[in-house]
Each structure stands twice: as C-alpha cells, then as structure tokens.
Amino acid sequence: KIEAGKIELDIVAFSLIQLFESIGKMFEPMALRKAILLNINTDESLPATVSGDPQRIKQIIINLISNALKFTESGKVEIRGRYNNGIAVITVSDTGTGIEESKKEEVFSPFQAGQ
C-alpha cells in the first residue's frame, strides 16, 4: 500500500510522550511476565506536541516492541524519543540476539519476516 501510494495519513498535532506512555502500559504485563525491563526514554528536546499520524506511528511502534519482546529472552527493551532539527526521531532497541547478518537483506523484502 505504501509503495502504491494507497495509504492515507491523518496528520494532526499530538503528544508523542503520551503515545509512548500508553504503549508502555500496553506492553508492561508482557515485559513483567518475561522479566524484561521496558524503558521509555523521552529526551527533553522533544516538544509537547508533534505533527503526524498518531495511529500509524502507534501501530509501527507496537509492531517493533512486540517483536522486540518476542525475541528478547532477558535484559531490556527501550523506546526512545528525541527531537533533531525539527524531526522527531523514534528508536526501539532491545538486548535480544538480533537478526543474522545473512538474513538482514530479507527483512526489507516484501512479505518477509525475521526468524
């Protein structure tokens, strides 16, 4: 859909900090069950509101955190938000094993999933 230009975005002002907090609450039970630390880190440079499609951004972050928790046996998963030259930068990182070097190209091919 993205490549075909079929996705419509609903651009509005919203709080990325509140979005992170709601996603953190959603995944807290799963992280606790696995004894994984779920960190939410928002830099002070992040403004009170940003412009974007909060539903699309939320879905992307949910997918990333879900995979991070699924493939992390111990340690932590972190969501980080910062502001750089007028752009909100969001990262999700984890202490999982990661993707084999030979499989990384496949992740960005249509209809592929990491194993």
Q: What is the pLDDT of residues 36-83, one digit of tens each?
A: 999 999 999 999 999 999 999 999 999 999 999 999 999 999 999 999
Query: Helices 16-33 and 54-71 meet at what angle, rounded to 10?
Result: 20
Q: pLDDT band for position 112 (50/70/90)?
A: low
- Residue carrying structure tokens 């509140």: 18
Tell me the DSSP string of 1-57: -TTTT-PPP--EEE-HHHHHHHHHHHHHHHHHHTTEEEEEEE-TTS-S-EEE-HHHH
The pLDDT tens digits for 61-74 are: 999 999 999 999 99
Domain boundaries, given as residue ranges, for the chain: 12-107
Q: Does 12-107 carry CATH code 3.30.565.10?
A: yes
Give the sheet arrangement for strand 87-94, strand by strand.
36-42, 75-84, 87-94
